[in-house]
Amino acid sequence: MNKISILFALILLGITAVITQVVLIRELIVLFSGNELSIGIILANWLVLEATGSYLAGRWATKQNEHLPPYVFLQWLLAIVLPFLFYLTRALPSQLNFIPGEAISITTIFYLSFLLLIPIGLINGAQFSVGCNLLSILRKKDASLIGRVYSLEAVGSIIGGVVATYVCLKYLNSIQTAFFLSLLNVISALLLSYFTWDKKSEVQNKKMQLLKSAHLGILLFLLILLITGQIGKIHRESIEKLWPDYRIVSYENSIFGNVSFLERSDQWHLFSNGVTVATLPTPDISQIEDLAHFPMLLHPEPKDVFLLGGGVGGIINELIKYNITSIDYAELDPLLIQTVLSYAPDSIISHLKSALVNTKNVDGRFFLRMNQKIYDVIILNLPDPSTLVLNRYYTYEFFELCHSRLKENGILVFQIPGSSSYMNEALIKLTNSLITSASKSFRYHRVLPFEHTLLLFSDKDDIEKVNANILSDRLALRGIKTRLFSDLYIKYKLDSTRVMWFNEERKVEESIQINRDLEPIALYYDLVYLNSSLSPSIAKTYAWFENFSTAFWMILIIILYGIVSLLRHKNILHPRSTIIMSVFSTGLFGMGLTIIFLLTFQSFYGYIYYWIGLIISAFMLGLSGGGLWGSKDVSKNRDSATFFFYLEETITLYLLLIIVCIIYIQSLLKFEILYLLFPYIILFLTFVCGVLVGVQFPHANKLYLIKPGRFTQTAGAIYATDLLGAWAGGILFTLILIPIVGTIETVFILFIMKLATTLNFKQSKI
């Protein structure tokens, strides 16, 4: 029974970590206005804290003779921390005068997520090092033991990813999930206490009795909360803390994210992942009427309209005023429409029930891809490209798709941030990139600049030639009644002076980067633009990285490789330092590729919140298998130095394979069968990535371990190095490389880095 208790405790370590990560990411995504790039920051902060906890606990555990009490204490601490962590995630932001829906800087995302993750990250990291001592009750103390703990944690991570995806995200709220994990850790600690503890000194016995009593107290407390229904009340109270100035009408989660329907001052506000989707019953009239009436009046006779997003906000009311045949309205998350239909008055949402409206609960991009119908007008009623799921509707590839679904005189229209007086450099670059990206598909375009810049594209020059008088005549002839849109308003918006000012401000350059699915430069410009008002100094620093090309990063890696080689040649660096460098780069490789797979999935499909647990599970499955493979090799006294070198070479070659895959991905995904299979291909590639990372870990520990008695300290050091590499990958790839240089160049930079560490290890002659 003691063996089962120990194995369950170490597997539970991985289960707790992954479920907490996945559910916390969902909570923080709402807080950070749906920005998926914050996923990399969140994971990076988690990993650096975990590395710190692992390293410190590893040094401490080496000096301890006790194996069981430290681990049981950490489980007790975790059981207490988890519910408070999830509650604090919702309660703390309002105390810092910040609520979801507000613009948030990169600095705030970084420090707020770091602050919230401190306790869980440190505890989780410490559990790994202390867990090596725990497993030594069953196995001899050598490097293979470290690999076993690594593999058992990975097995737990696999289970955690599946449970998070199919149970927690579907059926449990975050507070229920936290109490569920606390309960599991309390049960595990009690099993260890009753079935593993061997009576020793009186002092140690008193210590264990105290820990048993503490866990029994927590267990009793959890059962009381469950029986009395207090967990539901805590959940409700935490939501009210998250949205302190609103009345909570509905707060639900779907596989696509969180949907919140709130009421304040007789206005209903619909949020999706913290981003405002609609305001009822009084929306932004000018924005809605501009987006609806300008393209409909510029078109000589619009009949078929495709609307992507925002249909619940009032724009359909304006469109059905025309003599149209149909409106195909696509909304990815069906929960958005269900929520509005369930809680908003019929007088406000009657347009959604119009016979002219065909509501499609599907990704708009996927719908256009699979549907051969062609339209007169395509309207993108979406926020600016501040997230990857939004950016995918502003790329060259999507504009090409829209072009193929428009009639000969069809019009595409969308809005982006604008200004009537001043445009900073980031806004200029964002505007130029999007206009240039769409103009690659359309011959003509028209810009109507104001607080929101309206962009219209067509293959007919009428879009440029039709003047204010013609639009006014069409408005009167078609009998369209509006609240703001009038003859004077049309002349005001089409004023040539404003257009001339806008074109002068834009300062169009020849070297404009095209926004693509795998090169989301518009997302980068939008982030710089948003941060320029929230945190100007950070925005300037962030914008500075645009000057760093792929060549810069390659030269930097080569220079660092030269310095390391020189220091090693002069015997200033110990040969074992090359192991640390390789493990660091492998950690960066594992996290970097995982983020690339996550963001690539989001770029093509748009619902990463549901798949993130599966992708993490695939990585952990590979990590577990690789760890067990490596541990068996170490136990058989295989030549770890030779195997380590071959493994470094294999990782380098694998990166070349990924580069080839990414180069051809766009053309391959044109085939429907491959488009449907691609998510599973991503899972397989992530699994292979995990195997390569996992198999290296035990061999790295064996090569680094000099004194057998210091295996726990070695475990802490190597594990911390691995996590620090992953942390660097999370920050570097998420915020800098992928948005600026693109996915292919990012993987190529990673290839050069891994090649450098491979050569470095070979020359060290370990």
- Type and span of the H or E element at 458: strand 452-458
Query: Tokens for 24?
Result: 């916390």
Please write the tens of the pLDDT for every residue from 277-318: 888 777 778 888 999 999 999 999 999 999 998 888 788 888
Please write the tens of the pLDDT for every residue from 467-521: 999 999 999 999 999 888 889 999 988 888 888 888 887 776 667 889 998 888 9
Class in CATH terms, 276-515: alpha beta
Give me the residue spans of the domains in the chain: 2-231+548-764, 276-515
The phi, psi pair for 377, rounded to 5°, reads -140, 135
Distances (CA, A) of 357 to 90, 297, 305, 315, 334: 37, 20, 10, 12, 15
Q: What confidence score (pLDDT) does residue 475 get?
A: 92
The phi, psi pair for 99, rounded to 5°, reads -130, 155
Largest CA distance in the chain: 96
Pairing of strands 247-254, 267-272: unpaired
Residue 444 buriedness (CB in 10 A; 0-12 / 13-18 / 19+): middle
Please write the tens of the pLDDT for every residue from 535-565: 676 667 777 887 888 888 889 888 888 888 8
Q: How confident is the model at residue 609 (pLDDT cuts 50, 70, 90)?
A: low
Cα–Cα distance for residue pair 5/138, rounded to 1 Å: 11
Q: How confident is the model at residue 353 (pLDDT cuts 50, 70, 90)?
A: confident
Cα–Cα distance for residue pair 267/452, rounded to 1 Å: 22
Residue 430 near residue 386 (C-beta atoms within 8 A) = no
Q: How confident is the model at residue 67 (pLDDT cuts 50, 70, 90)?
A: low
Cα–Cα distance for residue pair 329/358, rounded to 1 Å: 6
Residue 529 near residue 426 (C-beta atoms within 8 A) = yes
Which among 363, 364, 442 is positioned nearest to 404, based on CA atoms?
442
N-terminal to C-terminal alpha carbon distance within the chain: 42
The phi, psi pair for 360, rounded to 5°, reads -120, 115
- Type and span of the H or E element at 662: helix 640-668
Which among 645, 594, 659, 643 is positioned nearest to 755, based on CA atoms?
645
Mean pLDDT, to the nearest integer, of 160-182?
86
Cβ density class 94-114: b for 16+ within 10 Å, e for less: beeeebbbeebbbbbbbebbb
Strand partners, 247: 263
Reply yes or no on whether the pLDDT at 575 is more than 80. Answer: no
| DSSP secondary structure code for residue 36 in this structure | T
Residues recorded for the chain: 766
Q: Residue with structure tokens 């570097």?
A: 732
Which among 615, 766, 587 is positioned nearest to 694, based on CA atoms?
587
Q: Residue 535 contacts by C-beta under 8 Å, 6 or more apart in sequence?
A: 105, 106, 107, 108
Q: What confidence score (pLDDT) does residue 720 get?
A: 75
DSSP string, 473-537: HHHHHTT---SS--HHHHHHHT-HHHHHHHHHHH---S-PPPPBTTB-HHHHHHHHHHHHHH-HH
Cα–Cα distance for residue pair 672/720, rounded to 1 Å: 43
Cα–Cα distance for residue pair 373/375, rounded to 1 Å: 7
Pairing of strands 275-280, 357-360: unpaired
Please write the tens of the pLDDT for every residue from 746-758: 999 999 999 998 8
What superfamily would CATH give domain 2-231+548-764?
Answer: MFS general substrate transporter like domains (1.20.1250.20)
Distances (CA, A) of 90 to 36, 98, 203, 244: 18, 11, 41, 10
Cα–Cα distance for residue pair 176/3, rounded to 1 Å: 30
Mean pLDDT, to the nearest integer, of 16-31?
85
Residue 433 near residue 417 (C-beta atoms within 8 A) = no
Pairing of strands 375-380, 247-254: unpaired
Q: How confident is the model at residue 130 (pLDDT cuts 50, 70, 90)?
A: confident
* 3-state SS, residue 724: helix
Residue 712 sits at the vertex; the CA angle it makes with 706 and 714, to the nearest 5 degrees, is 45
| DSSP secondary structure code for residue 356 in this structure | T
Residue 350 CB neighbour total at 10 angstroms = 11
Q: How confident is the model at residue 147 (pLDDT cuts 50, 70, 90)?
A: low
Cα–Cα distance for residue pair 135/507, rounded to 1 Å: 65
Q: How many CA atoms lie within 13 A of 25 on its CB side?
A: 31
Q: Give the sign of the dihedral formed by CA 670, CA 671, CA 675, CA 680.
A: negative
Question: Across all residues in the chain, what is the average pLDDT?
Answer: 83
Cα–Cα distance for residue pair 153/9, rounded to 1 Å: 9
Residue 276 near residue 470 (C-beta atoms within 8 A) = no
Query: Considering only 90-94, 398-402, 589-593, 605-609, which range has the smallest mean pLDDT?
Result: 605-609
Q: Residue with structure tokens 């001043």?
A: 422
Residue 377 near residue 411 (C-beta atoms within 8 A) = yes
Helix, strand, coil share of the chain (percent; to 5): 70, 10, 20
Q: Residue 240 contacts by C-beta under 8 Å, 6 or more apart in sequence?
A: 248
| DSSP secondary structure code for residue 264 in this structure | E
Please write the tens of the pLDDT for every residue from 321-340: 999 999 999 988 888 888 88
What's CA 607's distance to the chain center, in Å? 10
For the whole model, what pTM was predicted? 0.80
| DSSP secondary structure code for residue 56 in this structure | H
